[in-house]
Amino acid sequence: MIPPLPNLPVSHVLADIAAALRDHRRAVLSAPPGAGKTTLVPLHLLGETWRGDGKIIVLEPRRLAARAAAARMASLLGEQVGGTVGYRMRLDNRVSGKTRVEVVTEGVFARMILEDPELAGVSTVIFDEFHERSLDADFGLALALDVQSALREDLRILVMSATLDIERVATLLDNPPVIKSMGRSFPIDIRYKDRPGGERVEDSVTRAILEAHGAELGSILAFLPGQAEITRTAERLQGRFGPETVIAPLYGNLSQGEQDAAIRPAPKGTRKIVLATSIAETSITIDGVRIVIDSGMQRLPVFEASTGITRLETVRVSRASADQRAGRAGRTEPGIAVRLWHQGQMAALPAFTPPQILSTDLSGLALDLAHWGVQDPATLDFVDQPPATTLNEARTLLRQLGALDLENSLTARGRLMRELALPPRLAAMVISVSDLGHAREAALLAVLLTEQGLGGPSVDLEERLRRFKTERGERSEAARKLAGRLAATASAGTPSQEPVLAGQLLLHAFPDRIALQRGGRGRFVMANGRGAELPETERLAGCSMLVIADLTGRAAQARILAAAEISRADVEAHLPGEIGSEDQCVFDKASRQVRARRVTRLGAIIFDETPLPRPSGVRVAKALAEGVRDLGLEVLPFSKEAAQLRDRIGFLYRTLGDPWPDMSDEALLTRLDEWFVPFQAEARGLSDISSSGLSNGLMSLVPHELQRELGRLAPTHFEAPTGQRHAIQYDGGEPLLTIRVQELFGLKQHPAIGGGRLPLVLELTSPAHRPIQTTRDLPGFWAGSWRDVRADMRGRYPRHPWPEDPAVATPTTRVKPRGT
């Protein structure tokens, strides 16, 4: 029997929710922060007859929220957590045979449904705070809808949020009933205080906290972008209050005990200032908080598929997040929300935080899709489909790790990797070293890397692993037990007594991130060709080689977050065959020559190199082509004839289009292997490049059947009526002929090329070769402005003929005979 539940804003729609799930099996609930949806909806549904004895699964985006929601529901029933209401997460679960409402983190639910597609014993799945749009929540909803359609018509699905893109989610769910709960528990006074330009976030937040603490009663919840800003704000607040005010940080790296302490009510007679990241936005109530200070900033991870690097970006919050944050102030009494930005900026904020599926590593999702038997994710109902590029990169990585075959189906190794419930790289590491008896060490390292805060903050993973092994505390003990279970899953062999270092293990997870010091202390180049840096003060900065487990920042200046020392001998022992030798031809910018060398390398890392005798042949020409790509076409010694040939072909491409080839710099650089390399096999440097080879190469791009047409359509010269030949210039927008005007006397038609279709631009010159007129209509010139030109030229060049009607005059290159 469910005891009477408190009367909260969501109470008046509880019956509507139950009826919608009874009749339609799907529903969407939109309720503002503080409405009570997280705790009241699951408890109310316990009393519905259609539920039978099936469990209600409630998904929460974070462990803190899951524990808090379970604790609150259990207290409303007068029970302890683990009775009717329990929770389940990676390192902690409190459930029993009596549990009927199970609060789980979103990742746990995804594994539940992947392992048991029928969700046996489950009546209803509630997606709480769905607006956060984590990858696990999106995938979990897609799977739940698939299961409901194919296997479990009786399964109920409820999507809840305080701030939700209702139309998109409702469309995805095939337009089920949408229930809205208006109003919140208590009113909130929203105030705006613009942060001065250039002022640090922690300075603005500190000032706002001091003002609010002095002017208002109650505890304060301040939202900052990340741990660093929280630490600096806490430092600024130290000593500013008496013992009646407690400062409590709240972020992901804290232990469970520290997080729970931050959300507990302040002792009687005291106030609390909670400094939190976005972790405190949803599903938790911090009793006594009636003031929210919102910096308006958040830190989001952005994954670059091409580099495999996830960087953290500090960005403005969305309007939905701002509403969520403000709602924390009105949970238990009327509150105040101070927003540290100008009110006019609200309209410029994005409506919602970008969904994680669009900006995260999808290797785990790709592995799970293969397990589900899905090749095309479009066959599942995702709110946003995973980006094809990122998904393809993830599948490429999984094939390299041996988890997928060429058809992207799971291999035996891939199935074992899935069972470990680790990120694919770390799962591959545990499996790879299990035959060597190091499964437990690898599992400990994998758990360390996936659970924030274990082993301390050091960049050096060897040091963190050593500390983790002896670390006290409930969370550390649970993490070590998890590592034991993972090791048992991966290997049934006898553990090795030989010591193994963290770096030797990580080689199997991150072979592309093996790094060699290059360019000074703290500067490294990785096997994938990317650079990475460490502060010079770090011990690892002086190591000759590292393997990097975590880094952030843009590819050009990635910052190492976690790494371990290794040696070349470690690579040779643990990754035999990865280091190889090859003969190379490379272009040397300084000498502008191609050099030959024998290199020993691992990817982009070169360990040794030995000069080889001066080379020749196609390999040299290819290296020379790379130099040209780097320096540009202007380094090529085009003769006048070769340059004109390029201009002629380019003119025909611009005029007639395909199949005449593009002669632009960009096009020719792209096709160097076609027209440059085959015709420069004897060149060893830029100075050896053959100009005739350049001409022959350019001509090779013209289809054979068109080569005979080149001379007709774009001739090199124009033969004047005098019999003289004059070069036609094709380097401008139109073909240009520069010629002395006397040589065109007697010509009644304008000169043209292209079979008479393309008129030449005539630059007519004086006997001294100075321009006197440019025309595209010679007959019109004779009949028009020739009169003025003639009058001017007769005085300047009296010894040259200037007839009244040049159209019938005799062309000449000579002066008039004396006496005429």
CA dihedral 787, 788, 790, 795 (to 10 degrees): 140
pLDDT of 283: 65
d(CA 381, CA 362): 17
Amino acid at 601: R
pLDDT greater than 60 at residue 500: yes
d(CA 263, CA 250): 8
For 205-228, letters b (16+ CB in 10 Å) and e give bbbbbeebbeeeebbbbbbbbbbe
Domains of the chain: 9-180 (3.40.50.300), 188-357 (3.40.50.300), 420-574 (no CATH), 579-714 (no CATH), 717-808 (no CATH)
pLDDT of 129: 87
d(CA 212, CA 292): 9
pLDDT greater than 80 at residue 282: no
pLDDT of 475: 85
pLDDT of 819: 54
d(CA 121, CA 56): 9
d(CA 338, CA 701): 68
Contact 530, 522 (CB under 8 A): no
Long-range contacts of 582-590 (CB under 8 A, 24+ apart): 583/612, 585/615, 585/619, 585/620, 585/622, 585/623, 586/623, 586/626, 587/623, 587/624, 587/626, 587/627, 587/630, 589/627, 589/630, 589/631
What pLDDT, in 10s, does the model give residues 449-486?
998 888 988 999 999 999 999 998 888 898 999 999 99
pLDDT greater than 90 at residue 585: no
pLDDT of 254: 79
Rg (CA), the chain: 38
pLDDT of 533: 93
pLDDT greater than 70 at residue 420: yes
pLDDT greater than 80 at residue 616: no
pLDDT over 90, % of the chain = 62
Which band of pLDDT confidence, cut at 50, 70 and 90, is reported for residue 818? low
pLDDT of 718: 93
pLDDT greater than 60 at residue 792: yes
CB atoms within 10 A of CB 54: 17
Amino acid at 190: I
pLDDT of 682: 85
Cβ neighbors of 645 (< 8 A, separation 6 or more) are: 695, 698, 699
What pLDDT, in 10s, does the model give residues 346-364?
989 988 888 999 989 999 9
pLDDT greater than 70 at residue 556: no
Which band of pLDDT confidence, cut at 50, 70 and 90, is reported for residue 97? very high
What pLDDT, in 10s, does the model give residues 216-229?
998 999 999 988 89
Contact 624, 683 (CB under 8 A): yes
* 188, 423, 442, 466 from 427: Cα distances, Å: 48, 6, 9, 21
Q: What is the 3-state secondary structure (H, E, C) of 647-712?
A: HHHHHHHHHHCCCCCCCCHHHHHHCHHHHCHHHCCCCCEHHHCCHHHHHHHHHHCCCHHHHHHHHH
- Coil, helix or strand for 783? helix
Selected residue with higher pLDDT from 428 and 614: 428
Structure tokens at 36: 């009570």
Contact 337, 294 (CB under 8 A): yes
d(CA 123, CA 54): 4
Supply the angle between the helices 227-237 and 201-215 in degrees, to the nearest 10: 50
CB atoms within 10 A of CB 396: 15
In total, the chain counts a number of residues equal to 820
What pLDDT, in 10s, does the model give residues 506-552?
999 999 999 999 988 999 999 988 899 999 999 999 999 999 999 88
Which element (helix H / strand E) includes 739? Answer: strand 736-740
Contact 383, 166 (CB under 8 A): no
CB atoms within 10 A of CB 699: 18
What pLDDT, in 10s, does the model give residues 695-739?
999 999 999 989 988 988 999 999 999 989 999 999 887 899 999
pLDDT of 643: 93
DSSP string, 386-406: PPHHHHHHHHHHHHHTTSB-T
pLDDT of 633: 93
* Mean pLDDT of the region 41-65: 93
Cα-to-chain-centroid distance, residue 330: 37
pLDDT of 353: 85
d(CA 109, CA 104): 6
pLDDT greater than 90 at residue 558: no
pLDDT of 555: 62
* Mean pLDDT of the region 54-70: 92
pLDDT of 3: 85
**Angle of CA points 325, 326, 328, to nearest 5°:** 70
pLDDT of 43: 96
pLDDT of 817: 66
Which band of pLDDT confidence, cut at 50, 70 and 90, is reported for residue 185? low
Mean pLDDT of all residues belonging to the chain: 90
Residue 304 DSSP one-character state: E
| Residue 659 preceded by cis peptide, ω within 30 | yes
Closest to 207 (Cα-Cα) out of 238, 233, 229, 226: 233
Counting Cβ atoms within 10 Å, is residue 501 exposed (0-12), middle (13-18) or buried (19+)? middle
d(CA 493, CA 489): 11
Contact 510, 566 (CB under 8 A): no
What pLDDT, in 10s, does the model give residues 366-404?
999 999 999 999 999 999 999 999 999 999 999 999 999
- Coil, helix or strand for 415? helix
* Mean pLDDT of the region 38-53: 94
